[in-house]
A = this chain, B = another copy of it.
């Protein structure tokens, strides 16, 4: 752990506290501009209108000059704070200009430095046991290309070396069997894996994410619903996890070899920050291996350090690594890691897109990884997370309207629940008025997602805003 403040090193001019100067939030200038933007672009999900030139480190500045401590970091996708000097440096580099001006169709015309860029960046950061990569553009894209790799892997296994039949070649053009596939991806209740048609079929977070969109008839398995504090609910939680494992085994039997892969998040993020024990994931892994099912670990939100490990699933100590690990968000680049060469389809152009990845994002991912290593930011985040968790534990003591404080030992990946979604939403709105940008997930959870430059002093500011806000709301 570094003995210096990385935030101060990066951001000598980082604000020391939030400043809200408008009487309502968002302020008048932001409202006016959002209104104008709404004529051409959907702005109804906008919480604030940001001035990214002025934002620094852990503080986001808005159009009215308000300064907020950002504990959401663009839905968990800013790794090192705003206007990080090392990212600004690579942004100004010739390598970046050349990558932006000559964006390649990577699979057909890779650049002569893409291999080295991957080796020095994304691949160096690979989870234990993974040594190959396929790059993509977003979390949804990463998961869907991972699904495709799994479907082709399973079909090749069944086909056992025989070439495509005439019937397969013809029927697939009509989207019919046997050319298409009746295999499925199994996901977990409350899981979130993206919003395009394949990924949305595995997403089980909220109806509003899914309504009116066609979906594949794919199965979902229960995810443990743990009770907190964990120490006081050991037996109940163990029983809950056993029951989920048993139901998963049943689903595997019911689908009779048709499950190509399972996809699971180490911590279900959009679905409410739902955790499970290492034991649960180890058992799940065993069942997938016994049944020839591939295991995709979706680290789009959990990956890249925030849980106190580079990859959250490294907490589990699996004896067999996952088959695929997907990533995006904090790395800006996206894609999946794998190790079995058979997850590369048996012919070229089967896993293919014009832009299968983007070197400009791979350049940024490399810098992010180098900075993480240089300043030991994963260890640092684990420490800061412990500090913050303890402070929150004390703050919430005796406050029965807050429950299920969770994420202990998981870095800054901390969450807690209010009794209802409207209580939670009031808390979040009031937080913004008090200078902290924080988000919810699931029905009534608050999730903390600061960047890896969030330190004890930022935790102190956050706790004091929480304190103030809870006093305003609950007296």
Which residues of A does B touch, CB under 8 Å? 30, 33-34, 36-37, 39-53, 55, 60, 62-63, 74-75, 77-78, 82-84, 87-88, 91-92, 94, 96-105, 107-112, 114-115, 118-119, 123, 131-135, 137-141, 144, 147-148, 151-152, 154-156, 164, 168-170, 172-176, 179-184, 189, 194-199, 201, 204, 207-218, 220, 328-329, 332, 344, 347-355, 360, 364
**Contact status of A50 and B211, CB under 8 A, knowing A82-B102, A97-B88:** no
**Contact status of A134 and B41, CB under 8 A, knowing A46-B108, A51-B112, A108-B75:** yes
**Contact status of A123 and B52, CB under 8 A, knowing A168-B211, A180-B210:** no
Residues of B within 8 A of A46 (CB): 107-110
Other-chain contact of A92, B92, B99, B207, B349 (Cβ < 8 Å): B92
**Contact status of A175 and B201, CB under 8 A, knowing A181-B212, A212-B180:** yes
Complex Cα gap A108–B6 (Å): 28
Q: Are A108 and B47 in contact (CB under 8 A)?
A: yes
Q: Which residue of B lies closest to A348 (CB)?
A: B44
Q: Are A196 and B195 in contact (CB under 8 A)?
A: no
Residues of B within 8 A of A174 (CB): 220
Q: Are B50 and A112 in contact (CB under 8 A)?
A: yes
- Counting from the closest, the 5 A-B pairs by CB-CB distance are A197-B198, A44-B348, A155-B212, A37-B115, A175-B215
Residues of B within 8 A of A210 (CB): 172-173, 175, 179-180
Residue among A33, A118, A197, A353 with the highest chain B CB neighbour number at 10 A: A197
Other-chain contact of A180, B94, B214, B329, B332 (Cβ < 8 Å): B214
Q: Are B112 and A33 in contact (CB under 8 A)?
A: yes
**Contact status of A91 and B97, CB under 8 A, knowing A74-B354, A115-B37, A175-B201:** yes
Q: Are A101 and B88 in contact (CB under 8 A)?
A: yes
Q: Are A213 and B47 in contact (CB under 8 A)?
A: no
Q: Are A138 and B353 in contact (CB under 8 A)?
A: yes
Other-chain contact of A211, B51, B101, B164 (Cβ < 8 Å): B164
Residues of B within 8 A of A84 (CB): 101
Within the complex, the shortest CB–CB distance from A291 to chain B, in Å, comes to 19
Q: Are A63 and B112 in contact (CB under 8 A)?
A: yes
Q: Are B212 and A152 in contact (CB under 8 A)?
A: yes
Q: Are A214 and B183 in contact (CB under 8 A)?
A: yes
Other-chain contact of A215, B33, B52, B180 (Cβ < 8 Å): B180
Q: Are A103 and B354 in contact (CB under 8 A)?
A: no
Other-chain contact of A172, B82, B207, B360 (Cβ < 8 Å): B207
Residue among A44, A109, A123, A350 with the highest chain B CB neighbour number at 10 A: A109
**Contact status of A101 and B91, CB under 8 A, knowing A114-B37, A197-B198, A216-B175:** yes
Residues of B within 8 A of A181 (CB): 212-214
Residues of B within 8 A of A97 (CB): 88, 91-92
* Copies of this protein, total: 2
Q: Are A197 and B82 in contact (CB under 8 A)?
A: no
Other-chain contact of A352, B39, B45, B92 (Cβ < 8 Å): B45
Complex Cα gap A348–B217 (Å): 26
Within the complex, the shortest CB–CB distance from A122 to chain B, in Å, comes to 9
Residues of B within 8 A of A50 (CB): 102, 104, 109-112
Complex Cα gap A77–B355 (Å): 9
12 contacts between A and B (CB under 8 A): A40-B123, A40-B132, A43-B110, A47-B108, A60-B109, A87-B101, A91-B100, A151-B212, A152-B213, A175-B201, A211-B350, A328-B354
Complex Cα gap A227–B464 (Å): 75
Not counting A52-B102, A139-B354, a sample of 12 additional A-B residue pairs whose C-beta atoms are within 8 angstroms of each other reads: A30-B112, A37-B118, A40-B131, A75-B108, A84-B101, A91-B101, A144-B197, A179-B211, A179-B212, A196-B197, A211-B350, A329-B354
Q: Which residue of B lies closest to A301 (CB)?
A: B354
Complex Cα gap A41–B341 (Å): 10
Q: Are B364 and A182 in contact (CB under 8 A)?
A: no
Other-chain contact of A168, B75, B201, B207 (Cβ < 8 Å): B207
Complex Cα gap A217–B180 (Å): 10
Q: Are A354 and B183 in contact (CB under 8 A)?
A: no
Residues of B within 8 A of A197 (CB): 144, 147, 196-199, 201, 216
Q: Are B175 and A207 in contact (CB under 8 A)?
A: no
Within the complex, the shortest CB–CB distance from A429 to chain B, in Å, comes to 14
**Contact status of A214 and B133, CB under 8 A, knowing A46-B107, A91-B101, A354-B138:** no
Other-chain contact of A100, B87, B104, B135 (Cβ < 8 Å): B87
